[in-house]
Structure 1
């Protein structure tokens, strides 16, 4: 009966009319999108995805290449994404706790291993409590709206990660942006926001595109002066920065002065997925009641939870891996600078090789792959126009010989292209 009604002349012609309008609208949009995509390609800004055919290790298989290549562009800072104990922990949890919970945490998605992981994270950071999310993007997205109201203020570094920016957009607080690492400008913004009942300073601990470290001591001093709290995103610091991998706080000797630490389990801490907020008990408790990404997203799968939990066990037993990261970083940066390259950042394993031109960055990355080195060119809109680079990332899984091979390849190509003498 329904089909018969649809095929009556009036209804059928109406459907044809709707389809024609829809097709015309899509045809117009398709032309515009094609032009936009062609412009991206012609300007040298096209981002291709190379397919990895192996585990994430120092040597990886790429596409249909017969020989494996050295990977110098992963966030696998501690080399633990393929550690046998980490993998086994995930397998064990798959058997004991299943593939997933099919639920959010507060309904029936919290298992004992979730609680144990949160306790380990709290102990690692010396904080009261921790709440685990599906990603740090979710942790940042769910933080500001839950804690800040229309009368409050949030003051953010202009180069903060996109997830912090998006999280701040979601909240109704008054928004201030200070110039990157400019403490005078931060003071000025705090002065403008001095009457807000709640004031939060938000910053990356390490800025991932440049490898530079936040002026955390000065930020904490200003927070004390203006009765503000401090939130730090430690995604590119947790596990490997500082003597024992406790992050920017440890590196800059300001342990305990940061109110909120957001970080990830998807980089150094096993490399799978997950993020978290750790801090004061009252803050974490309120996030469990109000944070939308936590309340409306499935809980982290048991194998991922168990793998991350094993990583914290390994880190709390030894500081050997952070020490290896620091050694490899020093080797790469010193040799590259001596060769004449410009390397951005503050002695961090993120080592941006600054090139300026987007096409040049892509060309060099492709030629590096021909020499057995996997790196990627970064260009607009990931970084500002005119500041294209190749972001090299060092890991504890690299040997000094691996690092030297990477530098030698850069020197060979750099000389050929006239970048260095």
Structure 2
């Protein structure tokens, strides 16, 4: 047993030395997490993590072991709380509306939103990059995509942040309840208003060849997942990525000298300091082994994405930030059937935002100490990032 509660602050501020120490001892560990009542298995090795993410014996639907998750009860079924065949059915229905073509069509609008935010930000000469660009860009994009009214977005931001990085013991639960109620009302408003061109309205109408459609509960669950996962990860991609560049001036200079490296730089940002700290919960639906470690039925398994991305067995000199690195196979968006549905949108937003910022702010530099890293072990990101130019 490894009691990670003694590393609580380190896991938030700089978890990489802690995970390096664990990896030297083995790829899988029985741990006690800060703020958790029960033990769990933590996977820190790359190969073990990749295998675990794709292992069908590690399930997501807790009803299989008689456990009720409040989020699912209050919000509904979604892709991160279900297993095949339900997961297969839900993903097929959602991808009928949330297509690559739809994402690509957003490119001009994402560029416009980015330019507008930079127009507002740049004259001041300094800003908090999170509050001025990294947060408002993806929240605007996902709210416009789903059809969330402008007047609701400030309150939605508070609820969403509390869900992924709660400030108090019951903060996440209370936020989930409020979000569930809000989404119920939003969906009913769209149902009554008739067809529009936003994604949520499309999901209301989406019908498979056999006539299958999302139930009201499933629609609310998917809206919850898309709204939160659709922007929180991108906030941290942009924030963590710019922070990595500004603390590695050689890499920043290389990118400025050849913006053709931008796509690869974004992938290295995802590997080096990805936006998701650990994958969402899994449990063993039956006894199994992970990298030779026996896991008992119903045991909780946590896949450490941040830990796996710095495994030297997969990525040479893993603590070095190198925008020319071959990052193929990184796990920032997961792996297997639960691979992030919104990865193409996050990549597109990240590339546009970072590219435009570097082009329009040639003297970009840190302007003080970044804000605290987010609490909890779900998201990996900073509350603020002061910059100047």
The answer to whether TM tops 0.5 is no
Q: Greater relative contact order (Cα 8 A, min sep 6): structure 1 or 2?
A: 2
TM-score (norm 2): 0.27
TM-score (norm 1): 0.25
Answer 1 or 2: which has greater helix percent: 2
Higher CA-based Rg: 1
